[in-house]
Structure 1
Amino acid sequence: MLTLHAAELLVPGPGRAALPGGAVLVEGDRIARVGPYEELGAAFARARVRRWPGVLTPGLLVRGADELLERTYYPEDTEGTEGAGGPDRISGADALAGLELTESRWGNSARRATQKLLARGVVAVAGRLTVPAVRTAVVRSGLTLIAPLPYGAPPSLDPLAGLTAAEEAFHGVLEAGAPARFAAFAAADERDLLEQGATSCVATVIAGRLLHRRR
């Protein structure tokens, strides 16, 4: 089935001109076409249409996945999260040692973390994961795991944090034949996206599947 994802502004990737009123046509797990929504909508009238506010960009990449997923614990609501008045994540050797975490609990923590990442437009994470349950959680979430990449500031669930240009966090480009993995953000352009951060994400698509949609 063909799906047409349209936004007020399409940003194909680094070094490529932004396209107002642009759209991405997805067939299966690949991008079939990229261009103006009016043209693609007319040429593929039977395609399902998803219209997103703001800007549509390549999905984002998070660095330091081992630090974020294997040395940071994300509690359940019953353990004391933000909603319950407690921390939404716990890190530090002493604090983690006191939790007496098992591999199963690390896996559950990683599943909660991947949902946070998807809600920030993340489609890939870079790092070396050594806990099998954590690695399984990442793979099952749909996120792509790639080899470690250098990073300066401490890793963040928001891959836009501390950057000078949003395109520094893009993973891949939006072009015909490329994997259908991208995100939509409630932002006017790349500069506005950088100011608002990745929590402005309204939708995340990986392998042509809508894995996150802001309610």
Structure 2
Amino acid sequence: MLTLHVAEQSPETAVLVDGASVAAVGRYEELADADPRARVRRWPGILTPGLLNPYGPELLEATYHPDPREAGTLGTEPIGGERAGAIFRADPARLGASARRGVQRMLAHGTVAVAGELRSRVVVDAVRRAGLAVGQRPDRLPGPAALSPTPLILLPRVVPGGPARFAVFDVADRAELVRRGAGTCVATVIGGRLVYRGR
């Protein structure tokens, strides 16, 4: 099924998706006229290629993402450092479930690729199942490990024939995205599938 994604602030970069691939990129009006059968998904903000989070190991292997049922005892925010290590040592099976929740948090921040050497099989499986690409880790990391690292690392352009992998952020332009961060994500698409929808 063809799906046409368009964001209010960037109608010149609408994306027509056919399965897992990008069929066309261009002005919304032109793409809609060329294939009126396409289902249209309208988003606020801007459509971008999506983000590379360079902190795969730090966020998925060295951070515990609590289950919502643990909110009363562990809270809802990611837990790092020795406290996360103690949780994983006490119950190694928690690593896989934590990694899956961590991947979901990354998707909610427009992440479509991770970098860093993942050593745990259950973490690699969580990344692979979500469809996240594995990218090159930059020589210089942008700062402390975060779901919205500063500066944000945008992947190369979305191109026809390439993978349907992009994100939409509820901002007016890229400058506002840089200023406000990846928490403004409203949609993430990987392999042509809507893997995160904020509203």
Q: TM-score, normalised by structure 2?
A: 0.91
Q: 1:97 to 1:198 in 2, by over 3 A?
A: closer
Unaligned 5+ runs, structure 1: 11-19
2:143 pairs, out of 153, 156, 163, with 153
Q: Does 1:55 align with 2:46?
A: yes
1:128 pairs, out of 110, 113, 117, with 117
By how many angstroms is 1:142 displaced? 1.7
Contact 2:165 2:191 in 1 (8 A): yes
Q: 1:101 to 1:131 in 2, by over 3 A?
A: farther
Contact 1:7 1:21 in 2 (8 A): no
Structure 2 residue matching 1:193: 3-state secondary structure: helix
Aligned to 1:4: 4
By how many angstroms is 1:88 displaced? 1.1
The structure with the greater share of residues assigned to strand is: 1
CA displacement 1:136-194 (0-9 Å, x = unmatched): 11111221223543314122111xx322xx5xx11231121111100111100001111
Aligned to 2:24: 33
Aligned to 2:71: 80
Aligned to 2:161: 177
Aligned to 1:71: 62
Residue correspondences, number: 197
By how many angstroms is 1:86 displaced? 2.5
1:114 pairs, out of 103, 107, 110, with 103
Contact 2:99 2:126 in 1 (8 A): yes
Aligned to 2:173: 189
CA displacement 1:40-92 (0-9 Å, x = unmatched): 111111111111111000011000211111111111123237xx783512111
Q: Which moved more, 1:101-110 or 1:56-65?
A: 101-110
In the alignment, residue 145 of structure 2 is paired with which amino acid? P
Contact 1:64 1:126 in 2 (8 A): yes
By how many angstroms is 1:38 displaced? 0.7
Divergent runs of 4+, >6 A: none
Q: TM-score, normalised by structure 1?
A: 0.84
Q: Which whole-Å CA distance do the structure 2 matches of 1:58 and 1:69 have between them?
A: 22
By how many angstroms is 1:213 displaced? 0.6
Q: Which whole-Å CA distance do the structure 1 matches of 2:62 and 2:85 have between them?
A: 11
Q: Which whole-Å CA distance do the structure 2 matches of 1:147 and 1:191 have between them?
A: 24
Contact 1:31 1:175 in 2 (8 A): yes
